[in-house]
Chains A and B, each alone.
Chain A
Amino acid sequence: MDVVIFLIFAIIAVACAINVVVQTHPISSAISLVGVMGSLAVIYLLLGAEFIAAAQVIVYAGAIMVLFVFVIMLLNAGAEATKGRAPMAHLLGPPLLAAFLGILAFVVRRLFPREYTAHFGGFTHGTAKDVGRALFTTYLLPFEAASVLILIAIIGAVVLARKEMD
């Protein structure tokens, strides 16, 4: 059951991811990306990471991608022309991609021994409480560093927007 669901959503995720690149219209690409995020959330859920799954949907699909779509609509961006690709890209693209994916798969298999593979339902520390505890104890420093980084980014955005207005 779990494997079937995993396969379905993994295929959806990969198909959407390919669609992001293939589509010529930015809105279609953005919607495909939302599909990727949604499928990833389901896979997180399968792995027992409930909080991460919800956060994935709320933050990525619900906020960041909405902003993407908003900006695309605001700029009224049209479909981009498909022509103008170098013949070299057509020739070398697919083999290079295949090689890259092969190397990636090989490295992943090599780096993580067999007993490290994921088991559905085996992980039960994905609730909000567990994530919160981990964030504020084990990973306190990275967490604080990230929040400071975000604060700087916010201030930067405000400063840039101010300059534009004057």
Chain B
Amino acid sequence: MDSFIVISVVKAVVVFGALLTALAYLQWVERKVIAHIQVRPGPYRVGPHGLLQPVADIVKLITKEDLSPPFVNKTLYLAAPFLAMTLALMSICVIPFGPAIRVGGVQTWMQLTDLNIGVLFVLAVSSIGVYGIALAGWSSNNKYALLGSLRSSAQMISYELPLSLAIASPLLLSNTLSLRLLVDSQAGGAWRWNALRGPFPQIFAFVIFLIAAFAECNRVPFDLPEAENELVAGFHTEYSSMKFASFFMSEYANMITVSCMATLLFLGGWDAPWPARYGSSLVPTVLLAGAGLMALYHGIHPWRRRDRYSLPAAGAVFLLAAAVFLLPAVQSWLMPLFWFGAKVGSILFAFMWVRGTLPRLRYDQLMGFAWKYLFPAAMLNLLLTGFLVAWGS
């Protein structure tokens, strides 16, 4: 019992520390990705290549004056950001990042807790996540904010249905609601992942899930609740300082959660795309070594004077990381983490890529799309999957 509590506390600290760091740096990555799409360098001043920008942002947001306008509904106005933040961070509790590991003679799972209704837990938390936004907009007593929260409520309800239906189809294949068992059922290579496995690959469900997830996270092209060009800042118009930052972070936390969910449900979690005996364990080493050599090359032939030291240093770090991946002692737990991170990262990159590319839908189009196309498609997919699963058994 005691060791259970100790392990749980340690795991919680590690997971939330990693999550919060990831949140801060996800913003940096997003700003860099969008900037490069838009032919500009992005954050560049604070630290090498703006790497310390998240730190500067956090300091700025914490030290900013914490305004709360006199006309707001005080209780709900203060509660909304905490609600949004708490609910956004909560889902991470049930997300498994890798298989069981042994640390100092103790065997434990790379997961805070495994619920046998893990999928439903994530759905439940995300379905009440809308209250943060809805209450923020309403309690601000601001018309733009109210319109923003009206939009978000309607949007969340509409997109929850295709989202749930898209989740249901791979569940039929895997026959479990526990996220860890879900991954176990897909082990063995890319052709066993739910997105690709026969007899009926869930690639449609995967696409539907991603589209609905974009809407659930209020991301472009479904970012209507905070459509800057229409509603100024939408539901968080009246928020400043850390209260604003809470909404900002909850949006990114939601992005990470849905990316993890997509990975676990459709892409086999931490499972490598092909077995290690055919060299999948060499992939991170090759990628990192390639990146390191490229950085070294550009450090020797720098475009800018100041890159003469920073790029070789980055190259050395990459090469070191490449070497670490070769150590058999760490491979057993580092490889699953790498594949999990790579899959989640690719989906997060898609989020950013889409944001740099697409315009925003209009409110009625958004609703029409959810009910006329996404929902029937998800339903059809679920029916077909159910039929095939029943046929097979």
Contact = CB atoms under 8 A, between A and B. Distances in A.
A63 B135 contact: no
Interface in B128-142: 128, 130-131, 134-135, 137-138
Interface string A59-74: 0011100110110011
Contacts of A128: 117, 120, 177
Contacts of A50: 115-117, 120
B27 interface: no
A6 interface: no
A58 interface: yes
Interface residues of A, number: 25
Contact of A54 (B120, B137, B154): B120
B55 interface: no
Contact of A61 (B127, B137, B154, B177): B127
A31 B134 CA distance: 11
A58 B131 contact: no
A40 interface: no
Interface stretch (B145-153, B255-263, B313-321): B145-153
Contact of A62 (B73, B115, B127, B177): B127
Interface of B: 73, 76, 115-117, 120-121, 123-125, 127-128, 130-131, 134-135, 137-138, 146, 149-150, 153-154, 156-157, 160, 164, 177
Given A63-B127, A69-B138, A73-B137, 17 more contacts: A27-B73, A27-B138, A34-B128, A51-B117, A54-B121, A57-B124, A57-B125, A58-B164, A62-B124, A63-B160, A69-B134, A69-B153, A70-B150, A70-B153, A70-B154, A73-B138, A127-B117
Interface of A: 27-28, 31, 34, 38, 41, 50-51, 53-55, 57-58, 61-63, 66-67, 69-70, 73-74, 76, 127-128
6 contacts: A50-B115, A57-B124, A57-B125, A58-B164, A62-B128, A66-B157
